Amino acid sequence: MKYPVDTLVLINNREWRVAEYRMGRGREWVYTLANERTDGSYDTMRLNELAIGKILVEEPQGDLSFTAPAESFA
């Protein structure tokens, strides 16, 4: 597990939070990312570790560090 719960990932200028992770397909971590809408509902998506790694390499993350949990920014 490389990305702990509450890690923030910036995708298309939207902050996605790692809501959960689990072992999927035998030997790969699958992460559920959540983005809260203004009405309080959530958009979610599931990505494996390789996909998140590629997004973080290609998408600028700004001042947020993807290795630190969200509560460390408070």
pLDDT at residue 73, rounded to an integer? 46
Both structure tokens of 44 = 């979610």
Return d(Cα 41, Cα 23) in angstroms, integer.
Answer: 26
> pLDDT digits over 6-16, tens only?
988 888 888 99
| Side-by-side strand order, sheet with 42-48 | 8-11, 14-24, 28-36, 42-48
Residue 31 carries which side chain, given as an amino acid letter?
Y
pLDDT over 80 (residue 32):
yes
DSSP string covering 18-64, please?
EEEEEEETTTEEEEEEEEE-TTS-EEEEEEEHHHHHHHHHHS--TT-
